[in-house]
A and B are shown apart, each in its own frame.
Chain A
Amino acid sequence: MTRSASPGLLVAIAALALGLVVAFTVGRFPITTVDLFDVLWSRAVGRASSASPAAENVILLVRGPRVVAALLVGAALAVAGTAFQGLFRNPLVSPDILGASAGAALGAVLGIFFSLGVIGIESLAFIGGLLAVVAVYVIGSLLQSRDPILVLVLTGVVIGSLLGAGVGLVKYLADPYNQLPAMTFWLLGSLAATTASDLLPLLGPVAVGSAVLIALRWRMNVMSLPEEEARALGLATGPLRIAIVAAATLVTSASVATSGIIAWVGLVVPHLARALVGPDFPRLLPTSAILGGSYLLFIDTVARTAAPIEIPLGILTAVIGTPFFIWLLARMQRTWS
């Protein structure tokens, strides 16, 4: 890590810095750049701010937590996607391939169905995501096969659609006036309801999972080689795979529990990062994290600014992500062949 930062990483950091200023100063409530720096500065030195109390409130209690949440969720999904694409040696893999989102979705709709509070719903979503991946991993490992990776992915797809059927059943039985809209909103993904108290339960798992993945960055390079070659290099692929899956699942479940289902970030951003800094994990992981955070920050700024009502994140990421991904596919065929 003593090497000089690559130009690609600098591009990512520049995007992040720009994204932060734009995110703080753009929104439904008018906040000027002067207000922003005044509030932040007075916080830092501990004097009263000259900005209006409402502006201060928006910066510190409404927009601030939301910006942090967007950064964390975007970074988490991108890191998990990067890890999974390397681990499964497949460019079409996203962090929810092993059922984390489907499990979280079932947990969340059950929470809404039983009229739990916000904490209950988020906890159920988090636990649902973890349990789904544990189930996929256990079943996938029990099925003996010459290609354990392929079996794991297929098990994930199958269990994921079973959980999807569970979500459908709960929605079918839900109260159509009250619970059904809440479930629909949750499944479309949003950071609208983020408060400061949501940040700690998000930050903890994301920090732990990302730390594990970054610690394994060199080994992940080897893991993206074919199984026999990795073993020939003396790597215990089994335990390592469990560690990577566990860490990526931890960050994905924590993100999805906070924000609802946000597709595409974990699929598209790793490709963009790879285009910037190449496939070497020690560089790829931090770039991916920063780009993922900036990307979701940008999307979320549009989501809360473009109209008086929130535009669901899942819709925006798909609308922006699809053409972007097609463009990437056209440009980057060489990288994966």
Chain B
Amino acid sequence: MSRHQGLRHHDRHLTRVTRRALIAGASAALVASSRARAATVTDGAGRSVPVPARVDRVFPAGPPAAIMLYTLAPDLLLGWPRANRADEREFLLPDVGARPEVGRITGRGNTANLEEVLALKPDLILDIGTINPTFVSLADRVQEQTGIPYALLDGRFDGVAQAYRVMGELVGRRDASDTLARYAEDTVKTISGRIAALPRERRARVYYARGPRGLETGLGGSINVETIELLAQNVAGGTRGGLATVSIEQVLVWNPDVIVTIDRDFAASVIEDRAWAPVAAVRARRVHLSPKLPFGWVDFPPSVNRLIGLWWLAKILYPDLFPEDLRTLTRDFYGRFYHVTPNDAQIERVLAGRD
């Protein structure tokens, strides 16, 4: 890092032209297959974003962007929206996982100060998430105020591959981004292909439980249940929206076959809870606690961390259709995306959904 910074600092004294030439030469040498880099790329919102001449430091606008950038180019990540806990760092590159907390600049929940952001001297600001006029105007505004290119990319499953390719273009890592994009495409295609053979009524009916009492759930089309809705019927999908509270009565009426939860307390207590006892999923002991290290497998942050969750959930719902070994898949995914090789004990711990 420090060598990089020194080099950068030195750069500033060079004239613009020589600097460009130098960088063009350097990047051509570094990335052998590199073609000439375009002047601008079109981001997920259709905005035209200038490609920085050289990218050493990238500021992630929120958790999804931090995770996706980490998977592609951990060395470029300036910091995390929230500092990682020790149990999360265990599954990340030690020096990158420990990088500082820099806040977030997505939406209303701004915790990063724009002057702070500028002081970090990013070459690019990367934002991944919902694309709507609010976030587009936020991106335009920040880009205008800071003069730093601000790319807004789509974090949904059908946008991930494209997001990787745009990111690769922006940071000059086309080959690596293409590999990850292909993995994402293949995963979604393989899994949805096998499920497409099942008639709709034979797909599992799943209730997604959040909160210590399991009564918060994701409605139809919510980013929180994208993983579930790709594979199964979301019992709460009849109403469209985001997160909402429901009553146990309503869950009894839905009578889901499977319950997926991210809450450990709920997962532990629901089996003993007499009020939940008549639910088919509870009777059949099909209540599953989502793994969450280093990042959640089914829900949040809504980024590429959910790709391995697709395999996990597909195997839970349709064991016959998905004979692959989850441990092998997990080790492969963690190697490709998180740049670590967890041992057997670590994988068991992840799969158990423990902290």
Contact = CB atoms under 8 A, between A and B. Distances in A.
Interface of A: 27-29, 53-54, 57-58, 61-63, 66, 117-118, 121, 172-173, 175-178, 180-182, 185, 190, 192-193, 195, 304, 307-310, 312
Given A173-B111, A192-B215, A192-B246, A178 B253 contact: no
Nearest to B277: A57
Among B63, B249, B262, which residue has the most Cβ atoms of chain A within 10 A?
A: B249
Contacts of B111: 172-173
B247 A304 contact: yes
B301 interface: yes
A22 to B, nearest CB: 15
Question: Which 3 A-B pairs have CB atoms at the shortest separation, nearest pair first?
Answer: A177-B300, A309-B244, A61-B275
Given A27-B249, A177-B300, 11 more contacts: A28-B249, A28-B253, A117-B212, A121-B212, A172-B109, A181-B210, A182-B211, A192-B246, A193-B211, A304-B250, A309-B244
A182 B265 CA distance: 15
A65 to B, nearest CB: 9
Given A61-B275, A193-B215, A310-B244, A178 B210 contact: yes
Contact of A185 (B216, B250, B274, B301): B216
Nearest to B275: A61
A29 B253 contact: yes
Interface stretch (B131-139, B235-243, B336-344): B235-243
Interface of B: 63, 82, 109, 111, 210-213, 215-216, 219, 236, 238-239, 241-250, 252-253, 262, 265, 273-275, 277-278, 299-302
Contact of B252 (A62, A172, A192): A62
A29 B249 contact: yes
Given A175-B82, A177-B301, A310-B244, A118 B278 contact: no
Given A57-B277, A57-B278, A117 B109 contact: no
Contact of A195 (B63, B275, B278, B300): B275
A308 B236 contact: yes
A53 to B, nearest CB: 6
Contact of A309 (B245, B253, B265, B301): B245
Contacts of B238: 308
Contacts of A61: 274-275
A177 B248 contact: no
Given A29-B253, A54-B278, A57-B274, A310 B212 contact: no
B216 A309 contact: no
Given A29-B252, A176-B109, A308-B239, A117 B265 contact: yes
A118 B212 contact: yes
A29 B247 CA distance: 10
A312 B243 CA distance: 13
A62 B236 contact: no
Given A29-B252, A29-B253, A62-B252, A310 B246 contact: yes
B249 A62 contact: yes
